[in-house]
Amino acid sequence: MESQTVEHISECFIKPSHFPQDWKQTIHLTPIDLGCLSLDYIQKGLLFNKSPLLSIQAFLDRLKHSLSVTLSHFYPLSGRLATKITRDPQSYVVYIDCINSPGAKFVHAKVNLRVSDILSPTYVPCIVEHFFDHYKAVNHDGHSLSLLTLQVTELTDGVFIGCSQNHSVVDGSSFWQFVNTLSEVFQDDKILGSDQEETLNIISRSPNQERWFPDGCGPLCSLPFTHHDQFISRYEAPELTKRIFHFSVAALARNKAKANALCKDRGITISSLQALSALIWRCVTRIRMLPKDHIIKCFTTVNIRSKLKPPLPPNYYGNCSQAAGKVTTAGELLENDLGWAAAQLTEAIAKLDDNAARETLAKWLQNPSFYRTRRSVNPDMIIFGSSPRFNMYGNEFGLGKAVAVLSGHDNKFDGKGTLYPGRQGGGSIDVELCLCSNSMSALEKDDEFLDALNFS
């Protein structure tokens, strides 16, 4: 299967069908947006079975039309990044140019594989990485590359819709809001056939395009550089093994109950997600066989829209998340129990309030730093991204419910965990783990991990 290649049939650029009355030709990036410039694009996609009666050309035409209408609400995704540099006074400002762009990119591709070829293997096939555009691109490349690409890859009996969005323009919440709206537009003839003004009032959740800037930072957030080579870095990924683990509702409930029982004297209530994160953190640390005094970290990405005062609306469009977690030693983590680990993560997230978020941003303004994808083998960290709360399986595009959610090549490193809702629903969770091959083999034999995974 790995000898198969993805053949690109065609590509084009799609512009918004129209612009809202209050649209802006220039949108300035916030400190949180700017901090992502050296990260990779967000690449997530949906795999569907294909009916023999499906007319692929009719499907592609409708999807292009739907994309054009959806972009009228999410028009920044049709733009490009741009930089304005001045010397006196020195200023380096990166922003979204919403007008000088060919639009979002649309790719039609084919591969001679079946859906079962993607889902049957234990590990995620490497061919999936080529179901997305922007392979190995970083967000700063959005100066010349599209900020959004929709790639439709035909399988012999399936369709994969891969979406790549620039992470300096969106976070996970905004990413899936766009996909949810695209699916809504695709399925609703009324929206597709409405005039410009009506369309603005029909979609169920319009994005709020007013970028939020913290105190002490105006809409022109200047970086202390003269060239992007001073803060953009690129790395080659090591050989990684990627596997999606399916945790049932029953397995999560049992693990949560265990963590809470161990925390009964701590006055802390542990969620299913934090109990699962703690379990994975402990098990991966154990199989890595690190020295007791080795410093280790576990972080998760937290949506801070509701944590700010006043809170931002849930449909705030852009990046509005920060990392929260725990730093300790391998010895301390493994000498304590699951409840201790879960309590550390729960307390770290609880501490990420309005004051903490603003303090982090104030420090950033004093000394700007940039998130970087950790592609070197450095076994000291677990980072969880995405969220099982995002609406992924509600996107149908006339093809029925997706059979899987998959991600691309980018933002992967040894110790990355990507969280998805389980396809069976009900609160089940899927976790895509990326580990070096030796660590993955050891994890698959770890008694604590298998006991939690296989409970039903």
Local confidence band at 221 (pLDDT 50, 70, 90 cut-offs): confident
Closest CA to 303 of 295, 315, 285: 315
Average pLDDT over residues 393-412: 94
**pLDDT computed for residue 376 by the predictor:** 47
Average pLDDT over residues 245-261: 96
Local confidence band at 85 (pLDDT 50, 70, 90 cut-offs): confident
Exposure string of 364-396, with b = 16+ CB inside 10 Å and e = fewer, is: beeebebbbbbbeeebbbbbbbbbbebebbebe
**pLDDT computed for residue 1 by the predictor:** 52
pLDDT digits (tens, 9 = 90+) for 98-131: 999 999 999 999 999 999 999 999 999 999 999 9
**Dist. CA 14–CA 71, nearest whole Å:** 9
Element (H, E) at 91: strand 90-97
Mean pLDDT of the chain: 92
Average pLDDT over residues 430-443: 96
434: pLDDT strictly greater than 50: yes
The lowest-confidence range among 33-37, 167-171, 232-236 is 232-236
43: pLDDT strictly greater than 60: yes
168: pLDDT strictly greater than 50: yes
Local confidence band at 198 (pLDDT 50, 70, 90 cut-offs): low
**Domains in the chain, CATH or no CATH each:** 7-230 (3.30.559.10), 241-453 (3.30.559.10)
Please classify residue 3 by burial: count the beta carbons closer than 10 Å to its beta carbon, then call 0-12 exposed, 13-18 middle and 19+ buried.
Answer: exposed
**pLDDT computed for residue 411 by the predictor:** 85
**How many Cβ atoms from other residues are within 10 Å of residue 419's Cβ?**
21
Average pLDDT over residues 329-346: 97
Task: Tally the residues of the chain.
Answer: 456
Local confidence band at 201 (pLDDT 50, 70, 90 cut-offs): low
Tell me the DSSP string of 132-162.
SSSTT-BGGGGGTS-SEEEEEEE-SSEEEEE
**pLDDT computed for residue 378 by the predictor:** 64
Local confidence band at 88 (pLDDT 50, 70, 90 cut-offs): low
Tell me the DSSP string of 163-189.
EEE-TTT--HHHHHHHHHHHHHHHH-H
Question: Quick one: tokens of 228?
Answer: 């992007």
Distances (CA, A) of 271 to 81, 263, 285, 329, 392: 39, 12, 21, 23, 21
**Dist. CA 401–CA 393, nearest whole Å:** 6
Closest CA to 392 of 428, 423, 416: 423
Average pLDDT over residues 413-436: 95
pLDDT digits (tens, 9 = 90+) for 283-316: 999 999 999 999 999 999 999 999 999 999 999 9
49: pLDDT strictly greater than 50: yes
**pLDDT computed for residue 219 by the predictor:** 76
233: pLDDT strictly greater than 60: yes
Three-class SS state of 234: coil
**How many Cβ atoms from other residues are within 10 Å of residue 398's Cβ?**
14
Q: What is the DSSP letter of 13?
A: E
Please classify residue 173 by burial: count the beta carbons closer than 10 Å to its beta carbon, then call 0-12 exposed, 13-18 middle and 19+ buried.
Answer: buried
Phi/psi at 325 (nearest 5 deg)?
A: 180, -165
**Dist. CA 44–CA 224, nearest whole Å:** 33
Please classify residue 10 by burial: count the beta carbons closer than 10 Å to its beta carbon, then call 0-12 exposed, 13-18 middle and 19+ buried.
Answer: exposed
Judge contact between 422 and 428, C-beta under 8 A.
Answer: yes
**Dist. CA 151–CA 128, nearest whole Å:** 12
275: pLDDT strictly greater than 70: yes
